[in-house]
Amino acid sequence: MKKKTFESEDLKKKVCVVVGTRPGIIKMSPIIKKAQESEYPSFVIHAGQHYSPSMDDQFFKDLDLKEPEYKLEHIKDCELHGEQTAEMLKGIERILYEERPKVVLVCGDANFNLAGALAARKLHINLGHVESGLRSDDWRMPEEHNRVMIDHISEFLFAPTKNTAQNAIEDNVKGNIFVTGNTIVDAVYENEELAEEKSDILETLGLKKKNYFVLTAHREGNVDSKEKLEMISKFIKEMGDKYEGTPIIFPIHPRTKKRLKEFGMKEEFYSIDNLQVLEPLGYIDFLQLMNHAKLVLTDSGGIQEETCILKTPCVTLRENTERPETVEVGSNIVTGLSIEDVLEGVREMLGRKKDWKNPFGDGTASNQIMEVVKDCLEDRLS
């Protein structure tokens, strides 16, 4: 009979990193590099949740990463959350079954992370959750139930801050919690200078430093409804009146582009005067764009963190955030989508002194995480 789960002695001293979406690739890149430089074998599984070259290959190039050892195909054909998660779980489990790594690392809250986490758990492989303990307390968000489930089945919870560690403690998780900082700090520090040297995005778009806004929006709750997209289009126009001569640069997520098309709004949206819609940018260009923006409006998780690190004011277009540290230090304000609240948020943030401190660590998160991984490989953890 085929063995269905592993005992510790069946596993090899080997590390598996699971990636699958744009932010997953970016946030895991410092860990992948450390793992590859270490004395231990490692491999990457790309779960294939993001697949367009501008959401995938571009980041391997920009971040100087090798091709992943494994890549799942056809995940793009899945329409429902459960179906997508199930397909990735199936693919990842098969690979882990053959490779038998002693540690699997996932990062964040996208569906591919839940798939990777479940695959590891089912096979009795040690699971580490990078970016653990975040909570929005908004149970409607797929990300919220994903991150709660992953935290509960992980051996190692790598919390970016004390606050996130506390969330995990209050949830009564079983694994060991380590406060390491967020690997996004490592990624920003590793790429900030390179972006300054290599990116010509400002010249290409004819932008002057601190004289443009950046916008991103892709959350299901914001872009899967016509009404919400209309609210976005309204405040963009209003900002055009209020901040005349300050363009809004909008690298559009494929999900948002698709929805604008489906709702018959694409043409009108793309022709808003003060708005410049671009295809998704690579990391080097986007980092440079964020770094020199007057302010960023976003519903992205990673961008709330990066703007905080880069000292660029941020307005979050959501009703809540799982990154309250950014609001506490003063780099971010959470406004939702109503015109009045967004405009008030922009005014408030533009008036603030940018002397906040980055709460997400000192750029050594990937090192700290790899130390725990090595201790696990060598059975040095109790």
- Decide: is 23 part of the binding site for ligand UDP (CB under 6 A): yes
Residue 381 identity: L
Place of tokens 């051996």: 155
Complete edge-to-edge strand list for the sheet that includes strand 295-298: 275-278, 248-251, 213-216, 295-298, 314-316, 332-334
Which residue has tokens 């397909």?
A: 87
Q: Name the one range near ligand UD1 by CB under 6 A: 6-14, 50-58, 63-71, 164-172.
A: 50-58
CB of 188 vs ligand UD1, minimal distance in Å: 17
* Residue 301 makes contact with ligand UDP by CB under 6 A: yes
- Which one of 152-160, 192-200, 261-269, 294-302 is the stretch in contact with ligand UDP (CB under 6 A)? 294-302
Residue 52 is a binding residue for ligand UD1 (CB under 6 A): yes
> Which residues ranging from 11 to 40 are in contact with ligand UD1 (CB under 6 A)?
21-23
Binding mask 215-254 for ligand UDP (x = CB under 6 A): -x-x--------------------------------x-x-
Tell me, what amino acid is at 51? Y
Is residue 145 part of the annotated active site? The answer reads no
Phi–psi pair at 381, nearest 5 degrees: -100, 140
Which range binds ligand UD1 by CB under 6 A, 98-106, 108-116, 181-189, 191-199?
108-116
Secondary structure (DSSP) of 57-74:
HHHHHHTT-PPPSEE--S
Q: Which two tokens stand for residue 206?
A: 């004819």
Closest approach of Cβ 301 to ligand UD1, in Å? Answer: 6
Does 306 bind ligand UDP (CB under 6 A)? Our answer is yes
Told to check if 20 binds ligand UDP by CB under 6 A, we report no
Question: d(Cα 32, Cα 15) in Å, to the nearest integer?
Answer: 10
Is the backbone of residue 100 left (phi > 0), alpha (psi -120 to 50) or beta?
Answer: left
Return the range that interacts with ligand UD1 (CB under 6 A); candidates 36-44, 90-98, 104-112, 304-312: 104-112
Task: Tell me how far apart the alpha carbons of residues 70 and 119 are, in angstroms, rounded to a whole number.
Answer: 15
In 3D space, the residue among 173, 161, 47 whose CA is nearest the CA of residue 110 turns out to be 47
Q: Is 280 in the site for ligand UDP (CB under 6 A)?
A: yes
Q: By rule CB under 6 A, what count of residues binds ligand UD1? A: 18
- The DSSP 8-state label assigned to residue 233 in this structure reads H
DSSP, collapsed to helix, strand or coil, labels residue 203 as helix
Site residues, ligand UD1 (CB under 6 A): 21-23, 49-52, 55-56, 109-111, 142-143, 218, 254-255, 258
Which residues does the annotation mark as catalytic?
A: 218
Site residues, ligand UDP (CB under 6 A): 22-23, 26, 216, 218, 251, 253, 280-281, 283, 286, 300-303, 306
